Structure 1
Amino acid sequence: MSRLDKHQVCELYRWPKHVGDPTGRRAVSIDRQGLLRTPAAATDAVEAITLRELLSALDTAVVGVVDAPAGDNVMISSVALVDGSDLSSDAEAYAPVPDLYLHAGVTNAEAIRWFNEVAQRSPEHRPAAVMSKNATESSTLRTAARRAGVALLEVHPKARWDHVLPLVKRMLDRSRRHRAALGEPDLLATDTDLFGLAQMVAQNAGGLVSIEDAQSHVLAYSASNESADNLRTLSILGREGPRDYLRALEQWGVFDRLRESDAVIDVPAHPKLGTERRLVVSIRQPSDEGSPAPGILGSIWLQQGATPFTDDAADVLRGASAIAGRIIWRSLNAPSTEGLLIQRLFGARGGGVDVPSLAGALSLPVTGPAAVVGFALTSTENSAPPDQFASIGSMIRLHASSFRHDSVATIIGKRAYVLLPGYRSASTVAAWARQLVDDFEAKRSVVLRAAVAVQVMDLGQVAGARTEVDRVLDGTAATFPENRVTTLAESRTAVLLGEILDLVGAHPELYDPRLDALFDYDLKHASSLRESAEAYLAQYGDVRAAAAALQVHPNTLRYRLRRVEDITGIDLGDPSDRLLLELQLSLHRRKEVTEPPA
């Protein structure tokens, strides 16, 4: 893999290529909590897994041990993807170093020179293991690795680094302790994880198991043996299966049946393509009884090995499908560790973060001007399906990263929030938000509103800025589209009035029942007395102006206003009555906007 390829991997997973390093040459590191770190970033000790556990999970189809001087019981807690330019003494003069290096595009000469440098370091400044596609090509390389006391692991030449790195990271994420450290419930306490589930299915159903997502990407698998066919090996390596076999599955109707039902499907062997018999079952989104058929989340494939399937293999697969559905659905809806920290930065999930630590993890300045932008859907905000807004939030995050590379974004409820470091000008940020809102409407037919808060002078003020933009979004919902992108300063009247109306609306005893008679009369007689009263109030009691707005004769409007007074008992000539009526009508309009009928 070239240097460009390594950077493309980082872009694919939205990891910065260099974090906090003025030389711009430091390796990308990810600790087992899913946080980026570099050799310069001191972190508290985390629970690690052994090299043996990691290799067992990655499978012999992906990686094997060439030499392990210290044995396979060494601990692994962090990983770095590096190329030849990263392996320089000046770029690694910091501690601690990652425990596992992935040598992507590193030549034998570069690796040997680096191993010789590593051998001169103290033990705490050496990695535990290195993965390389060149591990068996040179005895000199193996000797240099042994001299350095570093385990040398051979990666399959067809394995893709952008597949191996997430697999390693997923294994480092398997510990539950990091969730407990963040105060989160142990989401996997009642179930195993997907790798453990795959191994249990293999043991109880007989055969080799692969668990795939809805796009046929392998999420987890059981240990392979000599009976693994070429299709399984290619899938585990992150490669596409034989196209002829995929066409055969289409012709046999396997994919259609997976989409349509949760039955276990028997897929025959295909000797010409070298594939063995398989059982497959769909993985579906958990749902309450009586709800519509849930969407498909993936599938579980069981390849027959040297021995037949067990008699209850189909039942085992059905049970595993339910467990996998819960695990995948939770993972899709639960933010990563980094995502949890960002949400707490914005004041969600209990709030409260260690600002310096979070700033280091996300490469954000602790102090200095910044802006917070909140985005919400229009009147459909409360009725949009979660998956729709998740997609909208992802696009907003992408636009924000393009506008400001160090921006951070999150979705809380059905609103998206973006932190833009370095901005104190509301007009500049509002112009960007307005362009984004216009693009969404023109290209995706999605109508958004946005609120901007500026002068956020340190990360500890981000939660307060989010509260401010929420006030603006709540208070201007009824004035859309006039306040499509706005700030608290620009919309203070609408915001304060909206909050007053909310306070009144929260107390049923403050509702004037006389309005019910007016609404009932309009409904029964198909009349427009309410509209007439609103026009009269909007024109400050000027009958002629209100009549012109309604396109009726002034005498007609005068008659309607007398009917309003007769029906409600409200005196439109009394300032207090007019104020109360306007307040009550405004409360009704606000409810109609924020609580659209089902």
Structure 2
Amino acid sequence: MPADLQSLAEDAADLLGAPATLEDRDFHLVAYAAHGDTIDPVRMESILHRRSTDAVRSRFEHYGIARATGPVRIPADHAAGVLGRLCLPVRWNNVTYGYLWLLDDEERITPALAAEAAPLCERAGLLMARQARERDDLGWKLADLLSSQPDVRAAAADELAETGALEPPLAVAVLRAPGPDPRPLNPWLLPRSILTAVWEGDHVLVASAASPLPAVERARRLLEERGPAPSAAGLCTPVTSLAAVREGWLRARVAARAAAPGETRDWSSLGALRLLRVAGDAALSDAVLSPGIARLLAHPDLAATARLYLDHAGSAQATASALAVHRQTLYHRLHRIESLTGLTLTNGQDRLTLHLALTLSPHLNGS
């Protein structure tokens, strides 16, 4: 009996003489095997995008495949170019874990032949059930690594070390989609080496530190399939031990907070924004947002001028050029900035105070 799902799909295609597609119960692609060059839009969509559309899922589930214990024939829709197919439910212990689809427009697969594929479907059900259980268990252990309780984290680190599922150094990533989105990412659509969990509203991924960005981008695309707005991502690497995963998550969530939609920020690139990790918004606001600076923030154009001036190390020429204004206009704005804030822009400490406040303020809630 084949030892993996791809081999099972290939053996099913050879046995039944038809192109085969293995999907999980949420219609995400698990494996596929060609048999000739027969294809239709549904199969192509599943292979190219690694999932079937909601419309396809609705149509196929209408035939009762989620409750079926034996083969279900789905008729063709030739007007839409969709071929007839046979669905073999993939089950284990009376639970449906997926579907094995065979393109069979001419109904060449007889009931007797389909019955010969039953051991393959049973084996696939066992493997999918086992993988689902393993992923669930590892997801719970990852959640325990993120716990605020040291004893829970220590126990999870010991258990994960025994499984060998995570080998430091690691990368911890946080993805945030606009609006509430508590649903976890489908682990079938991520590499098996990636652990993922939803923790305190964050989609958390833990992967090898060697090349985490492809996994982050894959997870971002999965989130963006749920809505049109791009997600922001933060990354902390390297995380040198399982015990440090929680701190990696806290740093990665700061990086995600600082990232623009569609952007991935690394903790190492944040500079002064790392202060968001060590103090709460209220404490930072009290520390950096004086009444004078608050008055300046009420004038966005002047605040932007001040930030640009300080980003250019106080160079009037460079700032005026960046703003496309006459230098005298810039001097007038700088005088207004000093009047509003009570700070002197030729004083190094005052410039540091203002620059820090302007850097942090866009990321402080209620500022």
TM-score by length of 1: 0.35
State the match for 2:216 in structure 1. 433
Contact preservation (8 Å) 1:359, 1:366: yes
> Aligned in 2, Cα 1:485/1:550: closer, same or farther, shift over 3 Å?
same
> Aligned in 2, Cα 1:399/1:541: closer, same or farther, shift over 3 Å?
same
Secondary structure at the counterpart of residue 394 of structure 1: coil
Q: 1:452-471 to 2 correspondence within 5 Å? A: 452-453=235-236, 461-471=241-251
> Aligned in 2, Cα 1:451/1:507: closer, same or farther, shift over 3 Å?
closer
1:566 to 2:339 alignment: yes
State the match for 1:581 in structure 2. 354
1:517 to 2:290 alignment: no
Q: 1:168-247 to 2 correspondence within 5 Å? A: none
Contact preservation (8 Å) 2:175, 2:204: no
Q: 1:53-452 to 2 correspondence within 5 Å? A: 162=91, 164-166=93-95, 339-347=139-147, 350-353=152-155, 357=159, 364-365=163-164, 368-369=167-168, 371-377=170-176, 380=178, 384-385=179-180, 388-390=181-183, 393-395=184-186, 397-400=187-190, 403=191, 405-420=192-207, 423-425=208-210, 428-434=211-217, 436-437=219-220, 441=224, 445-452=228-235
Work out the CA distance in 2 between the residues paired with 1:367 and 1:337. 13
Contact preservation (8 Å) 2:232, 2:259: no
Work out the CA distance in 1 between the residues paired with 2:312 and 2:270. 22
Tell me the amino acid that sits aligned with residue 465 of structure 1.
V
State the match for 2:84 in structure 1. none
Deviations 1:272-298 (A, max 9, x none): xxxxxxxxxxxxxxxxxxxxxxxxxxx
> Aligned in 2, Cα 1:545/1:509: closer, same or farther, shift over 3 Å?
closer
Work out the CA distance in 2 between the residues paired with 1:451 and 1:514. 32
State the match for 2:103 in structure 1. none
1:571 positional shift: 1.1
State the match for 2:34 in structure 1. none
How many residues align structurally?
Answer: 256
Work out the CA distance in 1 between the residues paired with 2:185 and 2:249. 20
Tell me the amino acid that sits aligned with residue 429 of structure 1.
P
Secondary structure at the counterpart of residue 376 of structure 1: strand
Work out the CA distance in 2 between the residues paired with 1:163 and 1:431. 33
Percent identity (aligned):
19
Tell me the amino acid that sits aligned with residue 394 of structure 1.
L
Work out the CA distance in 2 between the residues paired with 1:509 and 1:450. 27
Work out the CA distance in 1 between the residues paired with 2:168 and 2:205. 14
Contact preservation (8 Å) 1:476, 1:498: no
Work out the CA distance in 1 between the residues paired with 2:23 and 2:226. 28
Gaps of 5+ in 2: 13-20, 27-68, 71-88, 97-134
Contact preservation (8 Å) 2:255, 2:266: no
Quick one: higher RCO (CA 8 Å, sep 6+), 1 or 2?
A: 2
- Structure 1 stretches (4+) deviating beyond 6 angstroms? 7-11, 335-338
Secondary structure at the counterpart of residue 351 of structure 1: helix
Contact preservation (8 Å) 2:308, 2:319: yes
1:537 positional shift: 1.4
1:10 positional shift: 11
1:371 positional shift: 2.7
Q: 1:507-546 to 2 correspondence within 5 Å? A: 508=286, 511-520=289-298, 522=299, 528-546=301-319
Contact preservation (8 Å) 1:472, 1:491: no
Work out the CA distance in 1 between the residues paired with 2:226 and 2:339. 51
Work out the CA distance in 1 between the residues paired with 2:227 and 2:295. 43
1:340 positional shift: 3.4
1:345 positional shift: 3.3
Work out the CA distance in 2 between the residues paired with 1:375 and 1:581. 30
> Aligned in 2, Cα 1:542/1:589: closer, same or farther, shift over 3 Å?
same
Tell me the amino acid that sits aligned with residue 485 of structure 1.
T
Tell me the amino acid that sits aligned with residue 309 of structure 2.
Y
Work out the CA distance in 1 between the residues paired with 2:185 and 2:256. 24
1:548 to 293, 303, 321: 321
Secondary structure at the counterpart of residue 94 of structure 2: helix
From the CA coordinates, give the structure whose radius of gyration is larger. 1
Deviations 1:190-230 (A, max 9, x none): xxxxxxxxxxxxxxxxxxxxxxxxxxxxxxxxxxxxxxxxx
Work out the CA distance in 2 between the residues paired with 1:516 and 1:407. 44
Tell me the amino acid that sits aligned with residue 216 of structure 2.
A
TM-score by length of 2: 0.54
Give RMSD over aligned pairs.
4.6
Bigger share in helix: 2
Work out the CA distance in 2 between the residues paired with 1:531 and 1:576. 20
1:491 to 251, 269, 272: 269
> Aligned in 2, Cα 1:543/1:436: closer, same or farther, shift over 3 Å?
same
> Aligned in 2, Cα 1:9/1:339: closer, same or farther, shift over 3 Å?
farther
1:485 positional shift: 3.3
Gaps of 5+ in 1: 14-103, 106-159, 168-334
